[in-house]
Structure 1
Amino acid sequence: MQAFLYFNLATPATYRQPLLEQVKAALPQVAILDMDTKSGELVQRYALQLLRDAAQAVVVIKADESITDLSALMPLLEELFLEKPERLVLLQGAQARLQRMLSARQNLKYKVVAEEEVVPEAQEFFQSN
């Protein structure tokens, strides 16, 4: 199974997510889950289970410098920090603290990308691994 997790820390949640619609169109075989800072514990547990069960996973974290509280993201980050090669983290936006945390993990593949780069990066990752 392939999974795509989208965690939006930057903006208030909206029902319609154009990026997720693009991912669904480009990668119909991939399980997709989106979360934000208001996602409940059940959704967070589901995200962790999806990440653990997936043979390959792309995790997109949308954040910016205005975000100071990363507590909603910590369970997901802890799982990502485990050494599993079939994971890619795409950081959409600049968030210095999060970038330092990700770059400190030598075993973690991550890139800082613009929104229009997310789908091509995910496609390349799923096809090459």
Structure 2
Amino acid sequence: MQAFLYIDLAANNAYRKPVVELVQKALPTVTVLDLDSRSDELLQHYALRLLREAERTVVCIKADDGAAGLGNLMPLLEELFQEGRQRLVLLQGEHPRLQRIFSVRPHVAFKAVGAGEVPAEVSAFLL
């Protein structure tokens, strides 16, 4: 299974997620899950399970200046730090703490991208 996990940490997140819709349209066989900083424990559990079970995963984290803290997302981040997994982490926007966290983990494929670049990066990694 291949997966795309979209995490919206932006201060003003909307219900409609254009990036998620574009990925679903371009790659209909890829399992897609999106969550935000207010997602409940059950949804976070499903996201963690998806990360563990997928053979290849792209995780896109959207952030901005008013981004929420990382407290409730730490289990997901810790799973991303595991070595030997085929994962790509994309950061859409600015989040200095996340950039520092991933910069000291060279075994994690990490890239800062713009919103328009996300579908192409997902396709390139998963196809």
TM-score, normalising length from structure 1? 0.93
Counterpart residue number, 2:118: 118
Q: Percent identity?
A: 53
* Contact 1:85-1:107 within 8 A present in 2 as well: no
State the distance in 1 between where 2:74 and 2:98 align.
Answer: 11
State the distance in 2 between where 1:103 and 1:80 align.
Answer: 13
- The AA in structure 1 aligned to 2:88 is L
Query: For 1:89-108, what aligned pairs fall within 5 Å after superposition?
Result: 89-108=89-108
- The AA in structure 2 aligned to 1:2 is Q
Q: What do the CA deviations read for 1:26-46 (whole angstroms, capped 9, x no partner)?
A: 010100000001100000000
44-53 or 64-73, larger mean C-alpha shift: 64-73
TM-score, normalising length from structure 2? 0.95
Query: For 1:63-102, what aligned pairs fall within 5 Å after superposition?
Result: 63-67=63-67, 69-102=69-102
Counterpart residue number, 2:45: 45
How many residues are aligned here? 127
- Pairing 1:24–2:24 present: yes
Name stretches of at least 5 consecutive residues in structure 1 with no aligned partner. none
Give the RMSD, CA atoms, in angstroms.
1.2
